[in-house]
Amino acid sequence: MNRFQRDTAVEPLGGGRFSARIDPGWWIVRGPNGGYVAAILLRALRAAVADPARLPRSFTVHFTSPPSEGPAELATTLERVGRTVTTATARLEQGGKLRALALAAFGTPRHGPDFAHLVRPEVTPPERATPLASNVPIPMRERYECRAVFAAPGASAPEAVTGGWIRLREGPRVVEPELLAAYTDSWPPSIFSQVPPGTLSSGVPTVDLTVHFRAPWPAAEDADDFALIVFRSRLARDGFVEEDGEVWTRGGLLLAQSRQLALVG
């Protein structure tokens, strides 16, 4: 078990409820990283579904208030268990305060048409990419090994795109759905490439995050390897910005797609 697994662990309390602990090692500006909180929720939901054949397919989290360090409780509900799809919800609470609300769909593989028009971007391999630098001490940055391949935060870029290679700094490295969810909210936001440094001093807190899981990490690829994450923003308005994300293996398999809405200003 690595640190990510320990810090996102949940313990059953009975009746669909679980306990967890919010660890300060995943802090960013005002509290824990949203991807880390999402991972805890997803782990509780997977435990509640308790069917390894039903893989997470769609997972949405609304972040209602920043969690604090310490104990938390999760309440899960299996809203509907169908023939091939289970719909479930989860609430993460601390001291009676709602911190996050999640809705997820789990499903078995189905027969249908297969096509893929998305192609992994051609980028510098991780061995030659530049380590991601930060002028601000952020505990979460110590949890990941990151190599930038797109515009650096604060750079004047022609479009709001960012990302690079990422993997857990501490092994053993196991690429679970929870880690993929965390990856989708693990990089400096792409809007940072469109504004002068220090403009968004309050950070870019996530309002909601949706992840679509497209494939598990393939057995043919080394789980110790980096994944490539790419994020793009196309519209910022009224103090909100959207960001679309992709998570790829080095071999070109799309693992997950994401979209989030965040506050800016």
8-state DSSP, 170 = S
Contact 249, 223 (CB under 8 A): no
Cβ(32)–Cβ(26) below 8 Å: yes
Instruction: Please give the full DSSP string across 53-120, using - where no structure is assigned.
Output: TSEEEEEEEEE-S---SEEEEEEEEEEEE-SSEEEEEEEEEETTEEEEEEEEEEE-------------
Show pLDDT as tens, one digit a residue, over the chain (265 residues).
999 999 999 999 999 999 999 999 999 978 999 999 999 999 999 999 999 999 999 999 999 999 999 999 999 999 999 999 999 999 999 999 999 999 999 999 999 999 999 999 999 999 999 999 877 789 999 999 999 998 666 666 778 999 999 999 999 999 999 999 999 999 999 988 887 766 765 678 999 999 999 999 999 999 999 999 999 999 999 999 999 999 999 999 999 999 999 998 7
pLDDT of residue 153: 61
DSSP-derived 3-state class of residue 96: coil
Written as one letter, the residue type at 129 is A
Check: CB of residue 67 under 8 Å from CB of residue 94: yes
**pTM summary value:** 0.95
Tokens standing for residue 115: 């096509």
The two structure tokens encoding residue 87: 């719909």
Confidence (pLDDT) at 152: 66
* Predicted local confidence at residue 175, as pLDDT: 96
For residue 190, give Cα distances in angstroms to 5, 106, 178, 200: 27, 30, 22, 12
Amino acid 40: pLDDT: 98
Buried/exposed 36-49: b ≥16 CB within 10 Å, e otherwise = bbbbbbbbbbbebb
